[in-house]
Structures are given as structure tokens and as C-alpha cells.
Amino acid sequence: MTAHPQPPRSTATATRAARAPGGWPVVGHLPHLLRAPLSFLGSLPAHGDLVEIRLGPRPAFVLCHPELAKQVMADGRTFDRIGPLYEGSRAALGNGLATCPHADHRRQRLLMQPAFRAEHLAGYADVMRAGIATVVDRWQPGAVVDIVDEMFALTTTVAVRTLFGSDVDDHDIGELRDSLDTFLRGVYVRALLPAVDSVPTPNSRRYARALATWRTHVTRIVADRRAGGADQAERTDGHDLLSRLIAARDDDGGAMTERELHDQVAVLILAGAETTSSTLAWTLHLVANHPDAERALHAEVDAVLDGGIATLDDVPRLPWTTKVIRESLRLYPPAWVLPRTTTRDVDLAGRRVRAGSTIVFSPYILHRHPGFHDDPDRFRPERHSTGVGDSDRSAPDPWSRSSFVPFGSGPNKCIGDTFALTETTLALASIAARWRLRPADSRPVRPVPRSVLTPSRLRMRPTPRHAHPPAADA
């Protein structure tokens, strides 16, 4: 039996507060967060479990222990999505489920939940399979493929098609994708420096144009569906997400307002496109650089798929594929940093934190904390248990469960986690069944912190794994 080393600490250990060194006069730790945020955040657990940093003149408190993170994420009333960091997000994306404060969250979650019921997943999976088949059929042996762009194109198309059915043409999807990409590249800087757009630079003008294009397209698509009424609903059989959102009712029988519907659509496209594409890109990169994990992945998909496109029924028969994805999510969680603001004075790690303080929850910190993950920077899919078709129940160890939170936790946990994991599993398995990917150049791949943690650039060459791969059957 393989021995699993025990970590030096447990989640029950008493937590301790500290201050981070290295702050600059006036600007505090902002230069570190702008220049090398992951390195800076990764250094904080060595100082304490609740570490005070400075965002300019303002203090912020970074959670470096899973029990503190659990406490904060479970109490949306005390640790709310308010304050300047969220004001900018709401100004751009609206007051959707991923950005709304506690006061609006329960009603929005109740309205959104029916669209993500398990019985709807098969229909969404069919849309996923069609998009995946287009990708794996389009690649040419030996041609250089930009995996970041390819995965973003795939997941944006899937997000739009599951939302709107077939009513949106490829040109509109392309414009939505381009404007979303520009917005996402600028949102992190604007969260830290809200005044950046007060100077009319080319970047700020480009950002403003992208945001305007995004809003125009989403508004028109929603308005067209509303105007089409029963005719358009009949064309989609009422099976797309937008039809279900329009039909949703709260406890009092109220429907979403026009503004609420627009805001939810914007957030769903953002979450469905960026988080899943980032996970897929990182996973393909990690697999290509770890031969043992790749061989196990290829053996599994060959046995299950025989070169075809994965179906929803295949997912339970792909335990190693699931482990690979979970390990990728551990190393590169898309939602790498999530701020909160305290609404009252509260005690954390023996420190009195005043109302109005910024709290920073970072899955990246928890996932790479050496006190709660053995060999935390190493890609080891075997550390995970899928719970489905998996005889290895020794991982994750009990101490690590609350420190693996790729979709958040508590009442604000991502409503689309099953949707995202399904799409990622179908895509990874289908790509691995047909293609072996190798880096096209020797330049290092580094993470770029934007709204999610995405690779800077990932150019790869696909090689067919079989002499005559079967035609896509989606």
C-alpha cells in the first residue's frame, strides 16, 4: 500500500495574523500585485494565516488558511461583494449572479438555479460536443495552433449557443468573443487602479470600445428574443438557457427584469467562456509536459472513446481524465483571487478587522500551500479521487478538502461548476483521443493574471494519434 505523507499542519491548527513586508511608501504593495501578483501572493503564507497588505493607503487582509477562507465564504452578509473592487466589475458587467451583493444574491440564485438542473445537462452536452467536433476536425497535422485562442473560441461558442440556441450567427459570436477578450485583458488592472481610464490612452479607448460592443450585442440578442416571443422559443424548443431564464420565477412569482436578464446573460457568457477555456489550455499544457500522465490519459480515452467524440454517458468512465482536470484546477484555478468587504467589525485569526475592510480570498494560495498539499507545485493527478469508478479512496486526504476550492465555496459557489466540468471533460477526452499536442517553441508558458488565470501564450503542434482517425460523430 502506498504511504501518503501527512502535512505539517491541519485545518484545525490555531490561525495567526501578520503583516506582509515589502510595502512601498504611499502605494503599499500595489507594485507587487501589478508586476508579479502570483509570486507575491504565494509568499504570504510564510508570514501568517491572515496577512495584512496595503492597497495604496488602504489595508487589505489576505486569507492564507482554509478555515479562514471557509468562514469568510460561508458568511456573505458579513463579507459582502461591495466596495470599489466590485463597483468596477458591476459597472462593466452589470449586477449579475457573479457580481451582485448579498442583498440581491438569494433572489438571483433562485431564479438562475432551474436552468442548471441535472436534467438539462444532456441538452447542453450536445451543444458542447458539436463545438468540440468542429475543433478536432479543423486541426491539421503539424500546423501550429494557438491553444489559448482555440479554447477561448470553443468555449465562447458553446456559451453563446447554450444561451441562445442557433439564433446567433458566427459573425456575432466572433464579435462577442473579440470584445470579451479585450475586456478581460484590462479588468484586473482596473480593479487595482480604478482611475486608469481617466487618462484617454489607446488602451483605455480600446477597452471602452470593446465594452460598448459587448453591451450592444448582448442587448440586441436579448431584445430580439423578447420580440420573437413564442416563435423563437419554439425554434429553440425552450431548451436554451435564455428561454429558461425568461421563464424563471422567484418565490413571489416575479420574473427577471430586462436589466436583470441582460446582466445574467453577460455574466454567463463571461464565466462560460473564460474560466473553461483557461482550464482547458492549462490542462493541455500540463499533459504535454508530463509523459506518464499523458500515457494514462491516452490509454483511458482509447479504451472508452476509440477515437470518437466523448458523450455525457462517457464521463463516469473517464476517472483519470477527471483527475487530470482537478489537478490542473488546483495548480491554476481560474478564479484565482476574489475580494470581499466587511460590513461589520469581525474577528479573524485573533485580529479585529474593522467594517469596510477589504478581504482577499485566493484559491491560488490555498491550492499551493505547502502546509495543506504535499509537494504542492508538482503536477500529480493521482492525489485526487473522483469518487466515480475510482478504487483509490486515499486522496484527497481529509486535511485537503477545504483547501481545494476551484469554484469557490459557501452560498456563492459557482452555479455552473457541473456545466464547466462536463465541458472540460468532454473536450479534453475528445482532443486526447485524436491528437497528441507538443510545444511549438521553447519559450516558457507563464500565467497572466486577468479576470481569470490564463496562459500568456500556448502555441502547440497537433499530431494525429491514429493513422485514420474516425470522423467526428457529433
User: Mind listing the pLDDT tens digit for each residue in 47-106?
Assistant: 999 999 999 999 999 999 999 999 999 999 999 999 877 877 777 778 888 889 999 999
How high is the pLDDT of residue 207? 79
If you average pLDDT over residues 218-238, what whole number do you get? Answer: 65
DSSP 8-state symbol, 256: P
Please report, for residues 175, 437, 462, the alpha-carbon distance to residue 143 in angstroms, rounded to integers and kept in the order given.
25, 11, 7
Please report, for residues 201, 221, 471, the alpha-carbon distance to residue 139 in angstroms, rounded to integers and kept in the order given.
38, 31, 13
Give helix then strand counts, H and E, for the chain: 16, 13
If you average pLDDT over residues 300-317, what whole number do you get? Answer: 97
* Contacting residues for 274 by C-beta, under 8 A, at least 6 apart: 152, 155, 180, 184, 334, 451, 452, 454
How high is the pLDDT of residue 307? 93
How high is the pLDDT of residue 389? 40
Least Cα distance to 282 among 330, 341, 249, 230 occurs for 330
Domains of the chain with CATH codes: 17-89+336-367 (3.30.43.20), 95-328+387-464 (1.10.630.10)
Distance from C-alpha of 186 to C-alpha of 470, rounded to nearest angstrom: 41
User: Mind listing the pLDDT tens digit for each residue in 382-428?
Assistant: 999 765 444 343 334 444 567 899 998 889 899 999 999 999 999 99
Tell me the three state secondary structure of residue 436: strand
How high is the pLDDT of residue 392? 41
Q: Which has the higher per-residue pLDDT, 216 or 382?
A: 382
Q: Global pTM?
A: 0.88
The sheet with strand 358-361 has its strands ordered as: 17-19, 50-55, 58-63, 358-361, 338-342, 79-80
How high is the pLDDT of residue 5? 40
End-to-end CA distance of the chain: 42
For the chain, what is the mean pLDDT?
A: 86
Is the distance from CB of 407 to CB of 413 less than 8 angstroms? yes
Least-confidence region, from 37-46, 126-135, 357-366, 445-454: 445-454
Least-confidence region, from 183-187, 230-234, 340-344: 230-234
How high is the pLDDT of residue 474? 45
Distance from C-alpha of 416 to C-alpha of 55, rounded to nearest angstrom: 31
Is the distance from CB of 362 to CB of 338 less than 8 angstroms? yes
How high is the pLDDT of residue 191? 67
Q: For residue 105, count CB atoms less than 10 angstroms from its CB and return exposed for 0-12, middle for 13-18, buried for 19 or more.
A: middle
Q: How many other C-beta atoms lie within 10 A of the C-beta of residue 261?
A: 22
